[in-house]
């Protein structure tokens, strides 16, 4: 089992490192966040990105089988819990091919308290091409992407960056 986890971790790391360099059409800092309308894994309802207008957002593309993605979940749950009343929200965008039922089971098991939606290929391309995971975007209250993170992000870094936008 440890060999499989190590192999998956190495694959994710190599994948992230291979595609972490900016591409010509990537979402850059201070560009408008791409709009989206995606299905929630919890109830299948379509969630439109416009409902988050005026909030600081941390949008993370992830998969249930990705070790660094799974590793960041407890931190994201805590941040969502601590900062939700400050005008902040995390949005999880799953790229799982297993479908919403598998992701919903993961969401329940991990007690995820933020919206988790099923990303579509078009969504990954609108965000500049998401080729490795986790890849996350920090969006300010004006709806502009101010930072792109590739790979696992340390809690201290996230807190500092989020608080700088909330203040």
Q: What is the CATH number of domain 2-166?
A: 3.40.30.10
CA distance 25 to 102: 31
| Banded pLDDT at 11 (limits 50, 70, 90) | very low
Rounded to an integer, the average pLDDT of 27-47 is 85
CA distance 136 to 152: 9
| Banded pLDDT at 5 (limits 50, 70, 90) | very low
CA distance 29 to 47: 24
Give 49-83 pLDDT, tens digit per residue: 999 999 999 999 999 999 999 999 999 999 999 99
| Banded pLDDT at 13 (limits 50, 70, 90) | very low
| Banded pLDDT at 132 (limits 50, 70, 90) | confident
Q: Which residues pair with 105 in a beta bridge?
A: none
Q: Is the pTM of this model over 0.85?
A: no
Show me where the domains of the chain are located.
2-166
- For the chain, give the number of residues: 167
């Amino acid at each position: 089992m440890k060999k499989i986890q190590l192999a998956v971790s190495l694959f994710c790391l190599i994948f992230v490192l291979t595609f972490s360099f900016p591409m010509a059409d990537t979402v850059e800092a201070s560009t408008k966040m791409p709009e989206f309308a995606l299905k929630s894994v919890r109830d299948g309802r379509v969630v439109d990105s416009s409902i988050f207008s005026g909030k600081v957002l941390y949008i993370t593309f992830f998969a249930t089988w990705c070790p660094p993605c799974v590793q960041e979940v407890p931190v994201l749950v805590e941040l969502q819990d601590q900062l939700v009343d400050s005008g902040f929200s995390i949005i999880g965008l799953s790229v799982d091919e297993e479908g919403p039922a598998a992701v919903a089971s993961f969401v329940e098991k991990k007690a995820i308290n933020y919206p988790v939606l099923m990303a579509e290929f078009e969504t990954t391309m609108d965000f500049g091409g998401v080729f490795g995971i986790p890849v996350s975007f920090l969006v300010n209250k004006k709806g502009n992407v101010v930072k792109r993170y590739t790979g696992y992000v340390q809690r201290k870094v996230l807190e500092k960056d989020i608080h700088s936008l909330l203040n």
